[in-house]
Homo-oligomer: A and B are copies of this chain.
Amino acid sequence: MPQIDLNGIFPPITTPFIDDKVAYDKLASNIEKYGQTGLRGFVVLGSNGEYVSLSEEEKRKVVETVIQAAPEHMSVIVGTGCESTRETIRLTADCAALGAHAALVVTPHYYGGKMTEAALIKHFSTVADQSPIPILLYNVPVYSHVNLTVNVVAPLSRHPNIIGIKDSTGNVIQLGEFLNQVDDDFSLLVGTAGALFGALTLGCVGGVLALANVAPQNCVRIYELIQAGDFEAAKKLQLKMIPVNKAVTAIYGIAGLKAALDLLGYFGGEPRAPLLRSSDEEKSAIVEILKQADLFGG
């Protein structure tokens, strides 16, 4: 089984559209720019990548594009979770064949009321049993309305082909429970920049952060400062990044994230409908927030 280094910062990259079609060249050029930033790798087809709005064919071409464009030293983790175990296995196999280094599998959630601990453990185990590449669990209740508790995560952490979790709750109490009970070689990645400092100091090995799309160097810097033991500086930078993170996630969403990318030298573009484009007022607010956070370079 190939090893993948999860220690560090991963952006869940956006999918660029032009006239509602995937702009693969823009995707490739974004990837190349990220190569200079100290990021450990990429998460492709995550929530910020609008994976739910892509056709199967588009998903494959996005993965291919990223794998070709990504620098040698960077890992490519692909979101392959579908509602059914069967479809998840199939998409994971396909993405492995395309060269993905690991698969990020979101909790099935449409039938959330029936996603009992037993159902979730069986789902993830079965996928991991059959996957040619390592599996990361993906816990994102803000979208899925299902929370992966320690009762699910702890036993799954002992599966040889499940190597970690991206937890987007930002809930340090739950992260503490995970740390207490998961297998030693199971890695915790925090899934929201708002809790990056708290998660890394507690024991997470890295982060998959929407913010890392627009402020990769600052995210990497927080990670490095904590590695170096300079908590005070890390905390200061963490607090400075909070308004930016809130803008490109909770407040303005993916449309806002893309608007910020356009302002910062990457290709952002517009989200795919039904997500609405940012209004001019929203774009102005985003400019101001990026300015306040000193993200407009020199």
Copies of this protein, total: 4
Q: Are A87 and B172 in contact (CB under 8 A)?
A: no
CB-CB contacts of A182-206 with B at 8 A, as 1s and 0s? 0000000000101101100111000
Given A110-B143, A170-B171, A253-B113, also A242-B177 (CB < 8 A): yes
| A-side interface size class | 35 or more
Chain B residues with CB under 8 Å of A179's CB are: 239
User: Within the complex, which residue of B113, B180, B235 is in contact with A142, where a contact is CB–CB below 8 Å?
Assistant: B113
Q: Are B201 and A111 in contact (CB under 8 A)?
A: no
A243 within 8 Å of B by Cβ? yes
User: Within the complex, which residue of B47, B50, B203 is in contact with A235, where a contact is CB–CB below 8 Å?
Assistant: B203
Alpha-carbon distance between A65 and B194 when the two chains are bound, in angstroms: 43
Distance in Å from the Cβ of A115 to the closest Cβ of chain B? 7
- Whose C-beta in chain B lies nearest to the C-beta of A245? B173
Which of A3-11, A118-126, A156-164, A212-220 lines the interface with chain B? A118-126
Which residues in chain A, 81-103, are within 8 Å of chain B measured between CB atoms? 83-87, 90
A291 within 8 Å of B by Cβ? no
A67 within 8 Å of B by Cβ? no
Known: A85-B274, A116-B276, A176-B194. 9 other contacts (CB 8 A): A52-B111, A53-B84, A56-B56, A85-B273, A145-B145, A173-B194, A198-B198, A201-B231, A202-B238
In the complex, 24 of the A-B residue pairs with CB atoms within 8 angstroms, ordered by the A residue number, are A52-B83, A52-B84, A55-B87, A84-B272, A84-B273, A85-B272, A85-B274, A111-B253, A112-B143, A113-B253, A115-B274, A116-B276, A119-B274, A120-B274, A172-B195, A172-B198, A173-B195, A176-B194, A180-B242, A197-B201, A198-B198, A198-B201, A201-B235, A231-B231
